[in-house]
Amino acid sequence: MKIDKLDAIFSRCIKLLAGGICEFCGKLPKSVYGYHTHHFIGRRYLNTRYELDNGIAVCLGCHNFLEDFPKASWELLEKRVGSERAEQLEIIARTYRKMTKERKVIIKKDLEAKIKGLGRNQLEVTICEEFEEADAEAFQLVAKQEEIREDGKGKPK
């Protein structure tokens, strides 16, 4: 799934809220490539894709664990926001609502206001920007690898 500018802003906000640490294991990521934003309810559900309650900043190892064990991911969501809010997020995710350009603009403004309101210093913002760029690069590499595998000949299409 393609990462767009709104995904990058969402990711930055989640990572700033986390203060640069993995919110699952509590450790600092080993590199900028190893700091991810995990969605409890998948990104394909646009209604909850940019909900701050639906995201958590995690290291690569924890992200892989949470993706491989959805029950553990759901339990963590319930622990963080409560079972009532977790159920509410699931209902919102599965309720159809068109993602319009106007709605994206509103979401972007809300997330940018949240980032500005965090009162973080420029160093932390710069570090999170580096994490975002590294995430985008890593995502592109994975997409290219999948493309090679799909080709079956070991060569990109």
- What pLDDT was estimated at residue 33? 81
In this prediction, residue 117 carries a pLDDT of: 83
pLDDT given at position 4:
87
- The pLDDT > 90 percentage for the chain reads 61
- Long-range residue pairs from 66-70, CB within 8 A, at least 24 positions apart, any chain: 66/24, 66/38, 67/38
HSE, side-chain direction, 13 A CA sphere, residue 111: 24
Nearest Cα to Cα of residue 85 among 122, 114, 48? 48
* pLDDT above 90 for 145: no
The overall average pLDDT reported for the chain is 84
Query: What is the domain partition of the chain in residue ranges?
Result: 5-151
Mean pLDDT value of segment 123-150: 57
The phi and psi torsions of 120 (rounded to 5 degrees) equal -75, 150
> 90-109 pLDDT, tens per residue?
999 999 889 999 999 999 99
Per-residue pLDDT averaged across 13-38, rounded?
Answer: 91
Residue 32 near residue 131 (C-beta atoms within 8 A):
yes
- Alpha carbon distance 25, 119 (integer Å): 25
pTM of the model: 0.72
| Spatial CB neighbours of 71, under 8 Å, sequence gap ≥ 6 | none
Would you say residue 156 has pLDDT above 50?
A: no
**Do residues 36 and 8 touch, judged by C-beta distance below 8 A?**
no
Supply the pLDDT for residue 157: 45
Residue with tokens 């639906």, as numbered in its chain: 54
What does the pLDDT read at residue 6? 93
CB count within 10 Å of CB 50 equals: 22
Q: Is the pLDDT of residue 140 over 90?
A: no
Which pLDDT score, from 0 to 100, does residue 72 have?
A: 96
